[in-house]
Structure 1
């Protein structure tokens, strides 16, 4: 998707019922919370790997397990939101992968939130 296509789709407000808008708003909130939690746990995972392999400290073995489960919940929330707002497949995949690259989940969450709020008139 080019930048102009992204801008054009973000400025077009889609007409939906109030109940559907409410469901999208709830799904967006759940997605945003999980994007931040996933991003934080991913940064902790990076720190754990640095401590483990650079410093020889092997005391944070729970971090990969927690991040894995948090990422799984993130996937569910992103899929729920994507289905509600009818994302194309490429946007789905990009959003789902964002939870695996440090700092990307924060950036993608910001972009998706801005797009969805503009498309559906959510405050």
Structure 2
């Protein structure tokens, strides 16, 4: 039903969306609007999705026998805005 690849793609999408919302909406509201509630609200889900992304990337990389360079690139993409979307388009669509 759900393969590891599909679960990883879903987590990557959600992690990317949460990161964009956190960086471009919640943080500016916190500093320019002096209202930290959105960072608090989005911070925990993003953190959990980030950890899930890292763990799933390592497991999937092992299963698919990614080279170390590819795995590091996939892991690094999680800290770059829009990086997980790029990984989905370039790395993961080739596999499916």
Structure 1 partner of 2:37: 59
- What TM-score does the superposition give when structure 1 sets the normalisation length? 0.70
Question: Mind listing any 5+ residue stretches in structure 1 that lack a counterpart?
Answer: 1-21, 118-123
Gaps of 5+ in 2: none
Q: Which residue of 2 aligns with 1:36?
A: 13
Supply the distance in 1 between the matched residues of 2:7 and 2:92 (Cα, whole angstroms).
Answer: 11
Aligned length: 94
1:97 aligns with 2:76: yes
Structure with more contact order per residue of length (Cα contacts < 8 Å, sep ≥ 6):
1
**For each residue in 1:2-59, what CA deviation from the matched residue of structure 2 results, as whole angstroms up to 9, or x when unmatched?**
xxxxxxxxxxxxxxxxxxxx9xx81210110010010011012111111111221221
Larger Rg: 1
The equivalent position to 2:52 in structure 1, one of 65, 73, 83, is 73
Q: Report the alpha carbon displacement of residue 74 of structure 1 after superposing the two structures with TM.
A: 0.9
TM-score by length of structure 2 reads 0.87
Distance (Å, rounded) in 1 between the aligned partners of 2:19 and 2:13? 10
The answer to whether 1:45 aligns with 2:17 is: no
Q: 2 CA distance for matches of 1:65 and 1:30?
A: 20
